[in-house]
Amino acid sequence: MAKSKSRSRHHEGRQTNLTDLWASTGGNDSGLAKPTKKTTTSNGKYVTNQSGMKRSWESSSDTDSFAPPAKAKTSSSLGTLTKIGSINSLWENLSQPDGPLLLLRGQIGGKTSSERKLTKQNISALPEWNDNVVFKIYGKECRMRRRICQYSTGGELQYSYSGLKNMIAPDFPEVIYSVKCQVENFLCDYVLKYKDRVDMTVNDQEHHLRISPEFIKLVEEVKNRSEGEQKKEIFNYCLLNHYRSGEEYMGWHSDDEKMLDLHSPIASVSFGVTRNFDIRARKKTSGERRTRSARIPLGDGDLLLMFPPMQYHYEHGVPVEKRVAGDRINLTFRRVNQ
C-alpha cells in the first residue's frame, strides 16, 4: 500500500506561473487519412487489417535492431488516426480494442527543439538519478542497465514495481513539475472538450476510445477548483527512465500495480532520440504465439496517454535498436492511491 508523508514545502504557490508557462498549445494539422491498403517502404511494410485498427511494422530483418523510419514518414502508417473536432491538429487516436490510446506529437517541454533540448538537459542533470539499481526477479538479482529516478507530490511517497519494493519518491523538482503541469493542461482540455464523446458508457467500436466517468469527474474537479481551495491534481507520481543508447531497453510488461488509480491514465513523455514503443496482447490465444500488435515511434516532446483498461489487456516495451545513436529520457506520470 502506498504511503504519503507531506512536507511543509508544497507547490500551491507556483501553480499559476507554471501553468501559464506551459499552457500554450499549437501544432499543424497532420492531414492524415485512414489507410486503405498496405504501404511499402524500403525497410519493410506497414500493415493494417480491413478495419484499419491493427498497426504493426514488419521489418525485412528478423531483429528489432533497425533504425526507425523518420518521424515525418511514420504517422500516416500507424493505422486509423481518428479526427475529432478542431483538436485534430494535435491529437492522434491510436486506440486498440480495449486499449484506449491518444498521442500528442512534439508539444511537451517546449515548442521548439532548442527549448526541448534545454528541458532534457535540466532533467538529465537532476541529482537523484541512479544507475546502479539492483532488483530481484524470480529470486535472482539483476542489475538494471538504464538509470532511473522518481518523484512525487510532497515527497516520501513509496512505490513498488518490477521487483523493486517501497522505493521512496522525493518531491517534484521544478523541471518535472513544469512538465507535469503541461501534461495535465493538455489532458484536461481534451477530456473537457470531448467528454460527451469519449464516455465509458458509449459503445464506440470504431474508435475504441473510452474514458471513465470517474476520471471525467476528477478532471472537472481539477479545472473547476475555486480560489483558495486546496489544489487538486491528476498525477502525483513520476518514474523516469534514461536510455543512454539503443542497446538499453525495456522488456514486455504492464503497469498494473494495485496501488495505481483504476480510472486514471498513465502519461508517457519522451525527450531525445526517437525510440519505438511496442504493444502486444497480454493473453495469447490457445496454441498461438503472441505477436506485436502495434509499434509507435515516440520522439522528442511526444506525449502518449494510455487509458484504462489498456494495462489489463496489453503489454508494452521498448526494444533494443542497435542502430539508434543518442539517448532518450522517458517520464511516466501516474496517479497513485494514498
Nearest to 307 by CA among 261, 254, 255, 264: 264
What pLDDT, on a 0 to 100 scale, did the predictor assign at position 162?
A: 56
Q: Cell match 525485412: residue?
A: 60
Is the distance from CB of 87 to CB of 102 less than 8 angstroms?
A: no
Domains by residue range for the chain, with CATH: 12-23+49-78+92-334 (2.60.120.590)
Q: Radius of gyration over alpha carbons of the chain, in Å? A: 19
Whole-prediction pTM value? 0.71
CA torsion through residues 338, 10, 230, 218, sign = negative
What pLDDT, on a 0 to 100 scale, did the predictor assign at position 338?
A: 78
Non-local (6+) Cβ contacts of 304 within 8 A are: 101, 102, 103, 104, 267, 268, 270, 277, 296, 298
Report how far residue 126's alpha carbon sits from residue 124's, in angstroms, rounded to the nearest whole number.
6
Per-residue pLDDT of the chain (338 residues; tens, 9 = 90+): 444 444 434 444 443 333 333 333 333 333 333 333 333 333 333 333 333 333 333 332 333 322 333 333 333 233 333 333 334 568 999 999 999 999 999 999 999 999 999 999 999 999 999 887 766 666 777 767 789 999 999 887 766 555 555 677 899 999 999 999 999 999 999 999 888 776 544 444 456 788 899 999 999 999 887 665 667 899 999 999 999 999 999 989 888 888 899 999 999 999 999 999 999 999 876 667 888 999 999 999 999 999 999 999 999 999 999 999 999 999 999 999 87
User: CA distances (Å), 214 to each of 79, 86, 200, 219, 262, in order?
Assistant: 29, 25, 9, 9, 9
Report how far residue 273's alpha carbon sits from residue 187's, in angstroms, rounded to the nearest whole number.
24
